Amino acid sequence: MTDHNRPHPSLFSQIDVSHGAPTPTMPSGVAMFAEMAGLLRAMLAAQDRQNELLEELVNQMGAAQRQRAAELGQWKQANPGLARGCRMAAEALSKIQTEYLETLTEEIGDNFETLRDGEFMLNEFVDRFGPRVAHLNGLLQVLSQLSATPDAPSMR
């Protein structure tokens, strides 16, 4: 039994072309331009409102960012020794992270075929290196945010 013998549904539909209700007349050129102008005004008003909302959003986000920066600045002023310690720790941990990343990339280079072809080996690799990279990144971010800027005057 082949599909050639089966009837296929028609690809065309029937359209009634008999005289029915009159078609609506095309609006005159003036009416069409007036309608287009009205639509453009509505679009412009919607864009203006959207711009206002975006400005409010930027102001809110900027205020939160400024508040956070002020709080960090106050903390650094209140804890200058700890801020310097955080800077030194961040620099040291950054060097450790660089060495760790070198080890990670060497491991990838040495075992590329095995990692690509074996899901088990890839999972083992991710389990071995992934959490440490994520935690190092998190620690570095915190230490960097809390650290004193390198050119800040020393206050002891």
Residues 62 and 124 in one domain: no
Residues 123 and 96 in one domain: yes
Q: Is residue 8 situated within a structural domain?
A: no
Residues 110 and 59 in one domain: no
Q: Is the pLDDT of residue 82 over 70?
A: yes
User: With bands split at pLDDT 50, 70 and 90, how would you rate the model's confidence at 30?
Assistant: confident
Average pLDDT across the chain, whole number: 85
Q: Name the DSSP class of 79.
A: -
| Weakest mean pLDDT among 8-22, 60-74, 108-122 | 8-22
Q: Is the pLDDT of residue 67 over 60?
A: yes
Distance CA 150, CA 147 (A): 9
- The pLDDT value given to residue 14: 65
**Domain housing 137:** 80-156
Distance CA 68, CA 70 (A): 5
Distance set, CA 62 to CA 3, 49, 52 (Å) = 67, 20, 15
Residues 89 and 155 in one domain: yes
4-5-11 Cα angle (round to 5): 70
Is the whole model's pTM more than 0.95, yes or no?
no
Helix axes 80-110, 119-146, angle to 10 degrees: 160
Strand segments, DSSP code E, in the chain are none
Residues 74 and 84 in one domain: no
Residues 111 and 68 in one domain: no
Q: Let me know: does 149 contact 88? Beta carbons within 8 Å.
A: no
Residues 147 and 85 in one domain: yes
Q: Is residue 139 situated within a structural domain?
A: yes
Residue that terminates a domain, selected from 15, 47, 78: 78
